[in-house]
Amino acid sequence: MSFLVRQIALKSSGEEIVRPSTIEGAELIIGRDAASAIHLPDLAVDPRHARVKQAADGSLTITSVGELAFDVNGRSNTQATLDPVVGAELGFGGHRITLSRDSETGLPTFTVRRVEAVSDSAEDKDVTTAYTLKGLLPGKRISAWSFAILVLIAFLAFPIYSYVTYKPLAMQEKARRPDSFHADQTWSSGPLSAAHKNLGGDCQACHTEAFVAVTDNACLTCHTKDAHDHIADKSRLLKARGDPTGMAALQRVVATAFNRPAGRCVDCHTEHEGEGAMPATQEKFCADCHNGMKGRLPDTKIADAADFGTAHPQFKPMIISGMNGAKPVFTRADWSPSLQENNGLKFTHGQHLSKTNGIAQMVRRMPGQFTGSEALDCKDCHQSDSTGTRFEPVEMEDSCQSCHSLSFDQIGGTFRTLRHGEPEQVVAELRSFYRGGAPARPATLSGLARRVPGDAAARSTAADYARAVRFYPTRAEQAVAQVFSNGGMCYDCHTVTRGGTAASGGFAVQQVAQNARYYQKGWFDHKPHNKSDCADCHTQATTSNKASDLLVPGIDGKGGCRTCHVGGDGAKLTTASVKDPVDSSCAMCHSYHMDTDAPWAPKKDRKKDVAQTVAVADRPRFPVKLH
């Protein structure tokens, strides 16, 4: 009995070399040991791995010598009985042994072939990629595509989807998107101002149309009442602004090319600038139009204005020019130091404020009655209103009557007074007084009463009575005339004419009107000025003895606004000498959307110096202006 072993080796060219050998005996050993009949130089094979025995019928029994198994037809076994005629494939480590029957000799034949390389490194490597990260990381191309598509979906497609979903809600004041996340919020360039905070994620409240710049209509959907038009005629507004030149012209061209028309609300009211209030507008925007506007808009009635310190026209106070019945007629007049306003009263500011005359003496005699103890003060008559901005009208009863008494009779401790403001009542009162007020005839002079004997007492009484009657002013008309004429109570303060009805004794008192606000177009507030003396601005008050003198200051001159107020950047005229300059931009007194109230300023800034509340760039700017 014998076996045929065919060891197959590969040439480097890939050609096979077969080394056959015949093993005598009925048994052979397969192993790594060089003494084995089938020697497998393979570290995965035991030195004596398996024993092969041939039975009498020619079948082979293969048994593992140690614990290591071997493969038979792809399955792991430690023992197997095989028929060489049928054949089989055995696996030992990296070797494959094919069992067959040699056709010539009929011997069981083992064809041994190495199928696995000695080591992993012996296998072919692609040097160009082996040293790269290929296979260890996702490829650059695939990640580039994935990232890009992810970003486009999340930040482009999804927001557009949100926009399309809620498009029907645009331009409706009450309609709002539900309070939840909307993808187009990721497009917001910054938080909305405090006033618009409630719009929150409702981008379409303002951005109504895709690729169309925010329109005024979007603003006016909600701002139906509080958006006071600067000028109703927008074409005049644009004309006043004039055609931009230089850089501004280029900007306009680019803006127009990108469908961004000029002159919209949002030109000034920029949003997404951060939480908090919108800042007030910069002076530059006013001067853009008002500086040299006459040249661009020849028919305008408004004078050119730019910087307050150097280029602001004289003020035009609204003064009372006459009366229409009980109503005053107001006219705007050019301010001048000698400007007069007739309000119907006679009043001597100078005399009343004097510190040396009889009025001052009277104040000194009545300590505690007046603000000061030496003389009258402005406050004794002029009371500021609840806001402190302006003054209440001077009331005769509160301010004048303590000195200019209207009393004409005393009953016990009570003074009877004439009624102020109603001449007819005054006349009626006097007439009534003289009708029923004659001295009563003493009882002793009548014939029926008991009397003291003798004539002496009766004579004395009769003499007293005769004297009382003699000296009692009996003529009411005379008293009426006295009151309304020079030296009389009314005449002291009022202009009295002889055009009245019989009810007022033929006298007429001129209507009085007090002017509450002289400057209607600009905003003047007394409150911030309360650290100053009244006479600092109303310089003529202590000397003027004519009630028609307009004591309101103008822009220039002594006490004029430019005494303290300089331009927004501190500019002033060479003629003005300013001790403590106050930078004053347009927004301090003027408002673009002008109403009857103070110029708008953000709530948090209302107590601050107005000059500092206008919008300033939130980036470092040079030259830095130090206040």
Partner 1 sequence: MASIAPKKRTGASRARTSTHEGFLRHNNGFWGKLSAAIALGLMALYIFVPLPGQHFGSSWLGYTLGTIGALLILWLTMLGMRKRAITPGRWSLKAWTSAHVYLGLCLTVIGTLHSGFHFGWNVHTLAWALMLLVIATGIFGIWIYATAPRALSANRYDDEGAITEKQMIEAIRSLDRQIHDAAQTLDPQSAALVNLSLEEDAFTGSFWNRVTGNYPKCATRHAAAELRLIRTYQPRVGDDPADKVDALLTRKEAMLGRMRRHLKLKSWLQAWLYIHVPVTFALIAALSAHIVSVFFYW
Residues in 383-422 at the binding interface with partner 1, rule: CB under 8 A: none
Whose Cβ is closer to partner 1: residue 366's or residue 616's? 616
Nearer to partner 1, 17 or 617 (CB): 617
Give 526's DSSP letter: S
CB 589 within 8 A of CB 579: no
| Distance separating alpha carbons of residues 153 and 161, to the nearest angstrom | 10
145 is an interface residue for partner 1 by CB under 8 A: yes
In the region spanning residues 12 to 51, those forming contacts with partner 1, defined by CB under 8 A, are 32, 34, 41, 43-44, 46-47
In the set 79, 147, 464, 469, which binds partner 1 (CB under 8 A)? 147
Which region among 270-278, 404-412, 442-450, 594-602 touches partner 1 (by CB under 8 A)? 270-278
- How many angstroms separate the CA atoms of 135 and 534, rounded? 88
Listed in sequence order, the DSSP H helices in 242-348 are: 246-257, 265-268, 283-290, 293-296
Least distance (Å) between residue 187 CB and partner 1: 4
> Smallest gap, in angstroms, from Cβ of residue 29 to partner 1?
14
**Which C-beta is closer to partner 1: that of 145 or that of 472?**
145
- The residue from 79, 81, 143, 545 that contacts partner 1 (CB under 8 A) is 143
356 in contact with partner 1 (CB under 8 A): no
Nearer Cβ to partner 1 (244/337): 244
Separation CA 279–CA 604 (nearest Å): 10
**Stretch of 126-134, 439-447, 558-566, 578-586 lying at the interface with partner 1 (CB under 8 A):** 126-134
> Which residue, 33 or 392, has its beta carbon nearer to partner 1?
33
Subset of residues 44 to 103 that bind partner 1, contact rule: CB under 8 A: 44, 46-47, 66, 68
Judge whether 602 and 612 are in contact, CB under 8 Å.
no
Cβ nearer to partner 1, comparing 270 with 497: 270
Give me the half-sphere count of Cα atoms (radius 13 Å) on the Cβ side of residue 565: 26
Instruction: Provide the token pair at 222.
Output: 């909600």
Long-range contacts, 208-215 (Cβ 8 Å, 24+) = 208/170, 208/171, 209/170, 210/163, 211/259, 212/259, 213/259, 213/260, 213/261, 213/264, 213/266, 214/264, 214/265, 214/266, 215/264
Q: How far is CA 233 from CA 229, 301, 594, in A?
A: 9, 15, 15
Site for partner 1 in 172-201 (CB under 8 A): 184-191
The yes or no reply on residue 132 touching partner 1 (CB under 8 A) is yes
What are residue 415's phi and psi, to 5 degrees?
Answer: -95, 130
Q: How far is the CB of 212 from partner 1 (least distance, A)?
A: 6
Residue 9 binding partner 1, by CB under 8 A: no
Q: Which span (113-121, 216-224, 330-338, 478-486) binds partner 1, by CB under 8 A?
A: 113-121
Q: Residue 179 gets which letter from DSSP?
A: S
Indicate the pairing of strand 318-324 with strand 582-583. Answer: unpaired
Position among 150, 366, 452, 503 found at the interface with partner 1 (CB under 8 A)? 150
* Contacts of residue 49, Cβ cutoff 8 Å, sequence gap at least 6: 29, 30, 31, 32, 36, 40, 64, 65, 66, 68, 70, 92
Residue 32 or 349: which CB sits closer to partner 1? 32
Shortest approach of partner 1 to residue 103 CB, angstroms?
34
Determine if 626 is a binding residue for partner 1 (CB under 8 A). no
> Which is closer to partner 1, CB of 479 or CB of 614?
614
CA distance 82 to 72: 9
Measured between alpha carbons, how far is 572 from 574 in angstroms, rounded to an integer? 6
**Interaction with partner 1 in 198-257: which residues (CB under 8 A)?**
203, 207, 210-214, 247, 250-251, 254
| Torsional class of 492: left (φ above 0), alpha (ψ -120 to 50), beta (otherwise) | alpha
Segment interacting with partner 1, rule: CB under 8 A, options 21-29, 142-150, 365-373, 486-494:
142-150
